[in-house]
Structure 1
Amino acid sequence: MKTEAGEAKIQKMERYFRMNDRPLCTTTLRLNSVSCDQSDVGGNLSLGTSCTDGTGPTASSSVILNKYDGGGKTIRGELSEDRDADDKADLTADGERKLGTVNGVFLPCLQNILGVILFIRLPFITGQAGCFLASLMLVICFTATFTTSLSLSALVTNGSIQAGGPYYIISRNLGVEIGGALGALFYLGTTVAASMYVLGAVEAFQEGFGVKNLFRHDVQVISLVIMSQLAVVVGVGPRFVAITAPIFLSVVVISILCIIVGLLLFALDLWTGKLMFLHQNMYDENFAPNYTPDLETGRTPTFFSLLGLLFPSFTGIMAGSNRSAVLKNSSESIPTGTISAIFATTGLYFLFVSLLSSTLSNDILLENKLVVADIAFPHPIIVKAGIIMSSLGAALQCLTGASRLLAAIAEDGCLPFLRAFTPETPSANPVKAIIVTWLIASLFTIAGNIDFITPIITMFFLMMYCGINFCCFLMGFLKAPGFRPTFKYFHYKPSFFGFCWCLGLAIMINWFTVALSFLFLGMLSVYVAANGARKQWGDVGQGVLFSLGKFAVSSLSDKGDMHPKNWRPQVLSVIDTDEHGYPIKPHMLRLTAQMKKGYGVTMVLGRIIGSTLDKLAVERAGITRKILTQFMREEESHCYVDVSVSHGCMSEYIWAAALHSGLGPLRPNSILLAWPEDWKMEY
């Protein structure tokens, strides 16, 4: 009775695993040892399942029933499963807990957006452009980032996102050529952004503590020293960067609160800080623009130059997608966290522009770039320390993200000269990539002023935004079968608008830099196409070619019969092969290749005598197709090669091939045959 109960329990567990296994899973029942008599039933029954479908990590489950006691004791069963699979899925390769929406996306975006531009350049921009045009700049930047975030949300909800973030998205959708080139631009933009933050920290330190002009080129020397120290921190590992990020962000939030309170108290004549009441805005002098030469650079800014200076502060929307590999649920966290961060920070920027323009005089906004620290309540030192810490924290984030992006590009093999920077294991710290990133970032700190490098950052990130929007537009417009985003606010029209907006914005800021960027993109794309790895990622390029081919064939069919002036030979060459798959008369292939100057469609059809039900014949057909294709490549002829298996007579075979080959108007109008040796036998 107990043995029957045990067998029933085994069957029940077996049905459970069969119902819950994934596709292509196998179930095995293993009997280790069973010995039965009247008094004892002993042994181990092990029921195991293993999944090898290739769609995810291999999972295993097992049911073990220990031996039955013949003395009438209760059967003891042990169920051993990988019940902690979900817990393991929530861990990174380093064994750390994966991040959620707030810690993984929202806060990193905030930390990058609320950076050096907000503190030491937004007052200057407001004083130069005025309240109205400064607000218009914020609207322009918000439009670019918001439309890009919609496209990014659609792409990340279409499937899993691995290391590389935006580069991974574009390379898997637009192809290895465009993806590799845009990935290189994105890497350079992120690396130069680290230089901008370091220069901002040095400027805040020198301006805030009165230690300017210590020696010749002091800004460059101090920046190089700080960049080296930051590189050492990143080289230790990303754990320290993740630990310090909340500390830096907390200081930034406190600094912003101090600035807002100080401005409000200054407007109420309750606080002056290091300013005086004569620095108040008395006559709405900050509403209209007042373009005057910059005291440091000597340049007179324009609307679009100020826009290029402001835009890098909005490039922080990529901070969450750069962490896609360590997010618990990237398809949910990236859209929610990114869009929330955009709205929160844009509202804060509008608040700052409104308070600065309505509270402070135009002269103090133009002359004192650290005016937000001088007006802060209760003491300027809080904001000065906050600017320095926020800049250093953002620089750490940029160095970490850029080095891992370079490692992802190198691991994909898109750019052969970067393969040396591939880490030993995917979870290893990319030390070589960190060294290269440090060298490039140090090179740009030699500029000595963030105003000189912000246009470069703007162009690189706008090119990336164009790529994301264009990628999403193509996928939606072509109705790619593999593009089914779960983001409910997606439509391809906003993506196309975002692409045109970002491209137009880049051209208006600096058309020459845009031309250089496209030249750089083109050169990299050609290099990747010629020397890069061949990847089968199912990119949208195949969908574009399919749609164009379908449209061309349909349009050609609508034209009717081909006019004699446009007639071209469309040759169907029937080739006999031997038992090894080689052509019996190879001169037929040479003659077919020589007819390519007719610029028509050339088709080569091999024939194997046999049955389609014969497995060996079908395998021979595949081998023969490869051999004939290689023959035609050696003849430098681009043609369509196919091999069919038939046991009918030759005349019926040729007639069927002529009728069913080609598509629409692209059908053979000429047939090339070898001269038969025996008409009766062959035909």
Structure 2
Amino acid sequence: MGEQIEKKGYSFGTFKGVYTPSVLTIFGVIMYLRFGWVLGNVGLFGTLLIVTMATLITFLTGLSISAMATNMKVGGGGAYYIISRSLGLEAGAAIGLPLFFARAIGVAFYIAGCTEAVMSYTGNPLSHWGIDPAMTAKILSAGTLLAITALAYISADLALKVQFIIFAAITLSLVSFFMGNPAPETLTLPAGTVIPGKVGFWVAFAVFFPAVTGIEAGLGLSGDLKNPAKSLPLGTLLAIGTGYLVYMIMPIFLNAKVHNPDLLLVDSNIMSTVSAWWPAIAAGVIAASISSALGSLLGAPRTLQALAIDRIIPHFIGRGFGKDKADPRIATALAFAVALVAVLLGDLNVIAPILSMFFLLSYGLLNLSAGLEGLIESPSWRPKFKVPCSVSLFGAALCFAAMLMINAGATMIAILLTALVFYLIKRRHLNAHWADMRYGILTLLVRFAIHRLNKLKPDERTWRPQIMALSGSPKSRWHLVEMAHALTRHSSALTVASILPVEDWSAEKVQSMEASMKDYLQKREVDAMVKIFPSPDMLSGARALVRAYGYGPLTPNTILLGDTENRENFTEFAELIHLVYRTERNLVMLRDSHIESVEDAEEIHVWWGGNKDNIGLMLTLAYQIQKSPVWKESKLIIKTIVENADEQNTALERLENFIEEQRIPAVAEVLIKEQPGVYGMIRQSSAQAGLVFMGMRPPLLDESDEEYGRYYESLMASTRDMPPTAFVLAAEKIEFREVIGISAG
């Protein structure tokens, strides 16, 4: 649908479609009614600085727009289109919706300026009907809004043709101003005039900034341009240059002509006062206000139309009418409604800072988009208009800095509103039919992080389990995935791996299995990567994964697998354990329970058999488990067995002191060795536990796989009929006793 709108729209050229609406919005209500006020508040140097800073932001944004416009086919929606195709659908919507409201409110802003100008020349034209000035202003503004909406509703082409007449009127007004005479020195303020206190630099900046946001007018018509890649850069930069030249000369002339600074603060029509022919100024301000309002009323609905085409809002809002079914009349009606509310409620000085926030935010994201594109340096980034990424990123920084300086509270509100829209769109899981740069951004960040991480060594302070779960199909061995997810939730990386028999291998089969597993995990809210590995059998495939899986320092430090009770596999299984240990990976072997589950099992038992590395890892894993919602109310019990009663009190006191010193949320329990032996006691004592942690001994230096297989067989036989049990073998070169604070003594 997006392509259809792009092809069916008008075919405006650079002058008619970009330069004229942009420059007429720049020479708008701020220039005529508030520029003298800015000069009176901050002086000539401050005014020139404000013009330069504001134009610099717009100029840098214009450069970024030029780069992106010459690298992509820009469709309807202007800033929304560019941001959504660069930073993603959610980011585009997050700025597109607020920008629509900002531009619709901007219509009210410009109309309010027009009304203020009319009433300053005519007084209250409705006074003989007993209508007070405030109500007169609202009636005139609403009528003006209705008239320009009708013009925009009929045809954008007709509306832009009218702007040529307006362009002539503004040009005539500027000639009249520059040919004018100084204000008479004898000119005094009316008796009783209250001179308002001067405002600060950033307040004046916020009021002035909408004057240089005219590039939005041309950008908003991007879908109706014959050649956006040519017209947007040329028309935008010419409009910015024209505006800067005029805005730098005007305060110099005005400062020379007005000898009474107080006059600048109270006379909003100071341009008329000093002009050669005041009717030209009157015509210019009215024409400029209407032109700016018309430009916003053409751009705002097209942003909304683009949002509807992408199905962010109801699709019917984007329906086109008129020539080639391109005019967004439903969206125009909605923009009219928003502007009408703003007309009835707002005034110039209140509306201007609100507009500044949203324009600065959209400019910041436009600059950020171009800067990140240049930083990523994807092969697809080949703009004809080249701009260094540092220039665009500097532009983004200026935008956000200006927002904070104008009003930090309003900045936070604008950002929070944008974040809220982003979150709501994200929850809808909309599928965009285009590629954006998010994958490239993440790749860049990962590359940077990996290279930095590669220079560091793992340490006990920041250790966490990075797990590869050799689960096979999650559906058949869900308990392994559930355990791995509980251990890594929100803090560690998890890979769920499955071995695909090599005789069934094909690229399509691997992709299909991977997609199926990802979907299965996502529906159960398990955040994990998926690895499908073709191999002749499970154990050889598992060994290959242990040897090779990972990238640089991002390799799993802990292997999680299920047990096997197939005697034919014991030797090969022992070989896998031996390999895990030799490659310095920790092993967690989860044995699911064959007994009936214990209802409301709220205890986790950790059995300490003397191996300090194992107990350190077991307690760390148990602590991680307790962070998960399933186990957060569980009770952690550290258990050990001593030879006789003489050792019991000493061992208990030592264990309790250790728990208190290390702030471990656990209790201690010491048992005396008796019949039916250690494993029999463990089975009896942990019969009601929800989860049991036990240590495994590591393979001896010269121990063969067959010998270790016999140890494994004995361990499995001794722990049969227990609750779910995790057998833990610490092998990583990490002092696990320091991870949870166990002393080496």
Question: Structure 2-normalised TM-score?
Answer: 0.69
Distance 2:7 2:483 in 1: 58
Q: Which is further off, 232-241 or 365-374?
A: 365-374
| Residue-by-residue CA offset, 1:394-446 (whole Å, 9 max, x unaligned) | 211111110111111122123x4x54523168944222211111111111112
Question: SS in structure 2 opposite 1:200?
Answer: helix
Q: 1:212 to 1:565 in 2, by over 3 A?
A: closer
Q: 1:346 to 1:551 in 2, by over 3 A?
A: closer
Q: 1:337 to 1:682 in 2, by over 3 A?
A: farther
The within-5 A match list for 1:301-312 is 301-312=199-210
Q: 1:55 to 1:199 in 2, by over 3 A?
A: closer
Amino acid at match of 2:454: S
| Residue-by-residue CA offset, 1:185-242 (whole Å, 9 max, x unaligned) | 2212211211111111111111123336732221112111221222222221212212
Match of 2:328 in 1: 430
Match of 1:655 in 2: 543
Question: SS in structure 2 opposite 1:670?
Answer: strand
Distance 1:361 1:565 in 2: 68
Matched, 1:93 2:8: yes
Q: 1:253 to 1:671 in 2, by over 3 A?
A: same
Q: Which is further off, 655-664 or 435-444?
A: 655-664
Q: 1:447 to 1:301 in 2, by over 3 A?
A: farther
1:247 corresponds to which of 165, 183, 188: 165
Question: SS in structure 1 opposite 2:454?
Answer: helix
Match of 2:444 in 1: 547
2:138 corresponds to which of 213, 220, 224: 220
Distance 1:536 1:430 in 2: 22
Q: 1:131 to 1:640 in 2, by over 3 A?
A: closer
1:605 corresponds to which of 494, 497, 516: 497
Distance 2:174 2:15 in 1: 20
The within-5 A match list for 1:298-337 is 300-337=198-235
Cα distance, 1:278 vs structure 2: 3.3
Structure 2: unaligned runs, 5 residues or longer: 573-745
Distance 1:209 1:536 in 2: 55
Match of 1:105 in 2: 18
Percent identity over paired residues:
24
1:160 corresponds to which of 54, 64, 73: 73
Match of 2:614 in 1: none
Match of 1:145 in 2: 58
Question: SS in structure 1 opposite 2:213?
Answer: helix
Whether the 8 Å CA contact 2:2–2:75 is kept in 1: the answer is: no
The within-5 A match list for 1:178-577 is 178-211=91-124, 214=127, 215-216=131-132, 217-261=135-179, 263=180, 266-267=181-182, 276=184, 278-279=186-187, 300-362=198-260, 363-377=262-276, 379-414=277-312, 416=313, 418-423=314-319, 427-447=325-345, 449-488=347-386, 490-531=387-428, 533-535=430-432, 537-560=434-457, 566=463, 568=465, 570-573=467-470, 575=472
Whether the 8 Å CA contact 2:67–2:370 is kept in 1: the answer is: yes
Whether the 8 Å CA contact 1:193–1:395 is kept in 2: the answer is: yes
Whether the 8 Å CA contact 1:618–1:645 is kept in 2: the answer is: no
Distance 2:569 2:480 in 1: 26
Q: 1:429 to 1:299 in 2, by over 3 A?
A: farther
Q: 1:276 to 1:608 in 2, by over 3 A?
A: closer
Distance 2:57 2:554 in 1: 44
Q: 1:296 to 1:548 in 2, by over 3 A?
A: farther
Q: 1:398 to 1:682 in 2, by over 3 A?
A: farther
Whether the 8 Å CA contact 1:603–1:641 is kept in 2: the answer is: yes
Q: 1:431 to 1:682 in 2, by over 3 A?
A: farther
Distance 1:571 1:258 in 2: 77
Amino acid at match of 1:590: H
2:28 corresponds to which of 108, 115, 126: 115
Whether the 8 Å CA contact 2:496–2:530 is kept in 1: the answer is: yes
Amino acid at match of 2:92: G
Q: 1:555 to 1:118 in 2, by over 3 A?
A: closer
Matched, 1:596 2:485: yes
Distance 2:53 2:502 in 1: 68
Q: Which is further off, 110-119 or 297-306?
A: 297-306
Distance 2:565 2:516 in 1: 23
Whether the 8 Å CA contact 2:207–2:352 is kept in 1: the answer is: yes
Distance 1:114 1:55 in 2: 33
Cα distance, 1:118 vs structure 2: 1.1
Whether the 8 Å CA contact 1:219–1:448 is kept in 2: the answer is: no
Whether the 8 Å CA contact 1:173–1:537 is kept in 2: the answer is: no
2:527 corresponds to which of 630, 638, 642: 638
Whether the 8 Å CA contact 1:589–1:631 is kept in 2: the answer is: no
1:127 corresponds to which of 40, 54, 58: 40
Distance 1:595 1:203 in 2: 67
Cα distance, 1:452 vs structure 2: 2.1
| Residue-by-residue CA offset, 1:624-666 (whole Å, 9 max, x unaligned) | 33333344345543222233444x3554333323223222343
Distance 1:628 1:131 in 2: 67
Distance 1:227 1:162 in 2: 27
Cα distance, 1:353 vs structure 2: 0.8
Amino acid at match of 1:156: A
Cα distance, 1:355 vs structure 2: 1.0
Cα distance, 1:297 vs structure 2: 10
Amino acid at match of 2:168: S
Match of 1:63 in 2: none
| Residue-by-residue CA offset, 1:456-506 (whole Å, 9 max, x unaligned) | 111111111111122222222233443232223x11222222222222222
Cα distance, 1:357 vs structure 2: 0.8
CA RMSD of aligned residues (A): 3.3
Whether the 8 Å CA contact 1:593–1:636 is kept in 2: the answer is: no
* Structure number with larger C-alpha Rg: 2
Match of 1:45 in 2: none
Q: 1:332 to 1:554 in 2, by over 3 A?
A: same
Question: SS in structure 1 opposite 2:8?
Answer: coil
Amino acid at match of 1:527: L
How many residue pairs were aligned?
560
Whether the 8 Å CA contact 1:413–1:532 is kept in 2: the answer is: no
Q: 1:368 to 1:627 in 2, by over 3 A?
A: closer
Q: 1:444 to 1:559 in 2, by over 3 A?
A: same
Cα distance, 1:299 vs structure 2: 6.1
Q: 1:427 to 1:635 in 2, by over 3 A?
A: same
Amino acid at match of 2:8: A
Distance 2:434 2:358 in 1: 25
Q: 1:629 to 1:678 in 2, by over 3 A?
A: farther
